[in-house]
Amino acid sequence: MSNGSSLKAVYFLGIGGIGMSALARYFKAIGVPTVKGYDLTPSSLTHQLEDEGIEVHYTDLGLEATKGLTPKDSLIVFTPAVPNSLGEMVAFRSAGFHMVKRAEALGHAVEGKKLFAVAGTHGKTTTSSLLTHLLHESVSTSAFLGGISSNINSNVLLSPNSENIVAEADEYDRSFLWLHPYLAIVTATSPDHLDIYGSTDAYKEGFTSFINQIVRGGTLIYKKDSFTPNQIPQHICNISYSSPWKGEKPADVYSDNVEYTCEGIRFDWHFPRKGLHFKQLLLHTPFAINIENATAAIAAALIAGSSEEQIRKSLASFKGVKRRFEVIFSNKNHIYIDDYAHHPEELVASISSLRELYPNDAILGIFQPHLYSRTRDFYHQFASALAELNDVILLPIYPAREEPIEGITSDLILRELPQKNKFLIERDEVVNFIEHYPTTLPRIIVTLGAGNIDRIVLPLQQALKSLSDE
C-alpha cells in the first residue's frame, strides 16, 4: 500500500477532514484511478476536492457505496469522527473491504521516506507548515499538513524526486504511533484528549512511546522540560529549545532579542554548541508563538541541509497558515483575526499576542468550545484565558465526534468570566449580533475555535466591511 500501485480505488469516509483530504489528494496524484468519498456536509475543502476531480457526496449511501468497488483492490480509509453506525461503514465492513484509519494510511504513505514528523499538543500545523516552506525553498520536500499553507494554498505538497517528507504527528487516538520519523519535533505535551488517554500521565507516556519510534541515529527536537533525560532514547540525538524572551532559561537552541516592527517580528536564533548565531531574522506573521515554532523549525531545516542564507530568505517569505492567527479584515475602524485555538494554552498564546500587537485597543473574542470532554476537563482554564479579553461571545460546544455529556455546556465557562460584556449565543446569530452590538463594538475582533466557527468568517468579514462603509 505504500505506493498505491496495486490499488484501483481509495474511498474515504470523512473525506472533508483536513488530514483526510490531504491523503485523498495524495492518492489522486500518484495515479489511483478512483478516489472518492463521503462527508456529512459540504465545505471549502470538499469543494476544492471536487474541483480537482475527486467525487464527494453528502448522503449516507449505505450498501450502494460499495457498487463498482471490489475488496481485493480497494482501500477504505476512515476517520474516528465518523460513527461506526454509518450505513456506508457497516456496508464496507460487512463486504470484507480492507479498512484502515487515516493514521495508518498516512503511515504507509510516508513509508520509505526521510520523515520529519511534528508532534505536540499545539503548534503542530504552523511548525510543520513553516518547516515545509523552509525545506521546499532549499533542499525540497513533500508534506502532509493539518492546515492550508498560505504559501502553497494546500494541505499537501508532493515532490516525487525528494526523499524528505514533512507530516503532522497527531496524538489523538495515538495516531502518531504509526510513524517512524527520521526527525521528530515535539512542541508541547500539555494534557489534552483525556477522553482517549484517561490521565495526564498516560497522555505524556504516549509522547514517550512516539519518540521511541525515531529511527536509530535520528534526531528529537523538543520543547525544554517536555521530557526527562531518562525518557529520551539512547539511540537518537536530542536538541532542546526554549524561549528566553518569555522568561525561560536558554536551551540547546533558543531565540531572543525579539522586536515587533512594522514589517513583522525580528529575532535572533542561537545554537551555541554549534557556534551558530543568526541575527535579525524576520517573520512577517505577527504571532508571538511563531518565534517559538520557528526556533524548532530552523534547527530541523539545518539538519536537513538548508543554509543560513536559505533559511533567512524563506522565513521572510513565510505567509502563515489559514485559520492560524489569520488577519481576515483590517481598516482604521476594525481588525478581524481568525484563529484555530481550541486548547487553553493556545488561547493564552493567541490572546497574549493580540495584547502585544494592540496594547491600547479593546478586544472582543468569539469562542466556540470544541468537544464536551475537553470543556469538562478544562473549563476553568478556558475561563482564565478568556478573562484577558475585554468582551467575550461564547458559542455552544461543537461536539465533533462526541455525544453530549450531562451538565457540560458553554455556560460552565460563561459563569466564571469576569467581564461585564459576556454573551452566550448560537453560531448563526453571531453576525446579526455584531451588526447590532449592545455596546461599543471593540476595535479588535477574534474568532477562536476548531469546530464549525469557520463558517461565520466570511459573513463576519462582510458585516464588518459594511459597518465600516456606513
Q: What is the pLDDT of residues 115-143, one digit of tens each?
A: 999 999 888 999 999 999 999 999 999 99
Cell numbers at residue 94, please? 460487512
Residue 246: which pLDDT band, with cuts at 50, 70 and 90? confident
Mean of the pLDDT values across residues 324-351? 92
Query: Taking a C-beta distance cutoff of 8 angstroms, is the pair 427, 449 a contact?
Result: no
Mean of the pLDDT values across residues 33-43? 94
**Three-state DSSP class for 302?**
helix
E strands, 274-354, in order: 276-283, 326-330, 335-339
Phi/psi at 144 (5° precision): -120, 115
Q: What is the dihedral angle through the alpha carbons of 425, 383, 288, 303, rounded to the nearest 10 degrees? A: -110
Q: What is the dihedral angle through the alpha carbons of 433, 438, 443, 447, rounded to the nearest 10 degrees? A: -30
Share of the chain above pLDDT 90, in %: 82
Comparing 262 with 37, which gets the higher pLDDT? Answer: 37
CA distances 225 to 187, 214, 399, Å, are: 11, 19, 33
User: Around Cβ 331, how many Cβ atoms within 10 Å?
Assistant: 11
Is 50 exceeded by the pLDDT of residue 420? yes
Cell numbers at residue 137, please? 525553498
Per-residue pLDDT tens for 440-469? 999 999 999 999 999 999 999 999 998 877
**Three-state DSSP class for 253?**
strand
Question: Can you tell me the distance from the alpha carbon of 68 to that of 6, in angstroms, rounded to the nearest whole number?
Answer: 16
What's CA 71's distance to the chain center, in Å? 33
Burial level of 469, CB count in 10 A (0-12/13-18/19+)? exposed
Query: Taking a C-beta distance cutoff of 8 angstroms, is the pair 250, 271 a contact?
Result: no
Residue 191: which pLDDT band, with cuts at 50, 70 and 90? confident
Mean of the pLDDT values across residues 168-178? 90
In sign, the C-alpha dihedral spanning 202, 204, 207, 212 is negative
Comparing 78 with 6, which gets the higher pLDDT? Answer: 78
Among residues 324, 348, 316, 399, the alpha carbon closest in space to that of 188 is found at 348
Residues 6+ apart with CB under 8 A from 320: 126, 129, 150, 284, 285, 287, 290, 326
The residue whose grid cell reads 490572546 is 351
Among residues 395, 388, 376, the alpha carbon closest in space to that of 348 is found at 388
What's CA 210's distance to the chain center, in Å? 18
Pairing type for strands 154-157 and 142-149 reads antiparallel
**Which residues does residue 12 pair with via DSSP β-bridges, in sequence order?**
37, 77
Residue 470: which pLDDT band, with cuts at 50, 70 and 90? low
Mean pLDDT, all residues of the chain? 93
Is 50 exceeded by the pLDDT of residue 2? no
Among residues 120, 121, 142, 162, the alpha carbon closest in space to that of 131 is found at 142
Mean of the pLDDT values across residues 77-95? 93
The pLDDT of residue 5 = 60
Is 70 exceeded by the pLDDT of residue 179? yes
The pLDDT of residue 402 = 87
Q: How many C-alpha atoms does 47 have within 13 Å on its Cβ side?
A: 3
The answer to which of 58-72, 279-293, 359-373 has the lowest mean pLDDT is 279-293
Is 60 exceeded by the pLDDT of residue 4? no
pTM for this one? 0.86
